Chains A and B, each alone.
Chain A
Amino acid sequence: MNELISIFIGMALVNNFVLSRFLGLCPFFGVSKKLDNALSMGIAVTLVMFLASVVTWFIYHHILVPFNVEYMKIIIYIVVIASLVQIVEMAIKRTNVTLYNALGIYLPLITTNCAVLGITLINTQEDFSLIQSMVSALGGGIGFLFVLVIMSGIRERLELSDVPKSMKGLPIAFITAMLLSLTFFGFGGMV
């Protein structure tokens, strides 16, 4: 149990996906302008990260390793993620229209989100068990959601403040990310 908690905290806070591993930066800067969008995107990413981790764990340990074709993992993982995103999109569309309207437009973007492929590769690299992979995916996803929401809160305020002309937009967002990343350093040593 202790180990699972330490994996969770490590993934969510100490080695945060966005602030310390730089994974998922495109959506981080793209959709972090509004709080609602950030929340929806974060939930969608967490969901796909979790599902992808479970599916790729089975594929890696029950197909790739027995047949000795571990080197195929990159190509297989990206295909799994792309198909998962399609399936999740269709499933949500049929069952819950409100949720689909909220998450729908973000789902196709997730295929090329490096956080998703990143978590599957990290789980494989760290040789996590199924439970550990699930926990690390949840930790990574929730950490992503967490900073996305914080960032969108800050950026909503930034819109109203007087930023030097050449710093407007992306540069000031990066400065904000730098300060957040520095803050997250305080979580170091927690695992």
Chain B
Amino acid sequence: MKSALSNYARPILFLTLVVFIAVSVLSLTYQATKDTIEEQQDAKIKSTLQELFPALDTYEYQDSLYTIYSQDDTIGYAFLTSGKGYGGNIDIMVGIENETTLKGILIISQQETPGLGNRITEDWFTSSFAGLSLSDVFLKKDGGAIDGITGATISSRAVVDAVREAAMEKIKAIPERTQAKAGDLE
């Protein structure tokens, strides 16, 4: 009887003990690395935003919209969006100066075909968005101001459409935000 009990009990106790030790070690590792991981993520976001807004001093994040400050002035807004490319999602950070004008875009991640679609990360393509009016954010062949990439229309159009559609959506939130801020001051 005793041996039957220990036959069942010992393995279960042993496994429980191993799991307990494993969980403790993991939570210790997590506590030790948590701050560094957060710092790294903040630094990455800040350097991305800084690339779009060189004058950036601080930024604020609320409702998936980054508000960019230079000293105390608001110099623009930024947000993340994603488009459906040839090989999957294309994540883009978009900067806007005000309700009508783009500041610029950066491709954060993409899985497009090397040599064709992945040329959306090249400077000449992303920099062609800088300073554009939102109504011009179309490919030239669709009546806009952006040169598509030869042989990679799907990828180029995915970026252009994602940027324009998301920007149109986001600018609706901006005036309210500015008003809310003014309201706070009173």
Chains A and B bind each other: yes
Please determine whether B23 and A14 come into contact, CB atoms closer than 8 angstroms. no
In Å, the complex CA distance between A69 and B30 comes to 9
- The A interface, classified by DSSP as helix, strand, loop or mixed, is helix
Please determine whether B87 and A75 come into contact, CB atoms closer than 8 angstroms. no
Please determine whether A188 and B23 come into contact, CB atoms closer than 8 angstroms. no
Nearest-neighbour CB distance to chain B for A7, whole angstroms, equals 10
Please determine whether A75 and B26 come into contact, CB atoms closer than 8 angstroms. yes
Which single residue of chain B is at the shortest CB-CB distance from A71?
Answer: B30
Residues of B within 8 A of A191 (CB): 84, 88
Task: List B residues 1-57 near A (Cβ within 8 Å).
Answer: 22-23, 26-27, 30
Selected from B22, B27, B84, B111, the residue in CB contact (under 8 A) with A6 is B84
Interface size on A, residues (CB 8 A): 11
A181: Cβ under 8 A from any B Cβ: no
Please determine whether B86 and A189 come into contact, CB atoms closer than 8 angstroms. yes
Please determine whether B26 and A15 come into contact, CB atoms closer than 8 angstroms. no
Which residues of B are in contact with A by a Cβ distance under 8 Å? 22-23, 26-27, 30, 84, 86-88, 111, 113, 154
Q: Which 5 interchain pairs have the tightest Cβ spacing?
A: A189-B154, A189-B86, A188-B86, A71-B30, A191-B84
14 A-B pairs with CB atoms under 8 Å apart are A6-B84, A10-B88, A14-B87, A71-B26, A72-B23, A72-B26, A75-B22, A75-B23, A75-B26, A188-B86, A188-B87, A188-B113, A189-B86, A189-B154
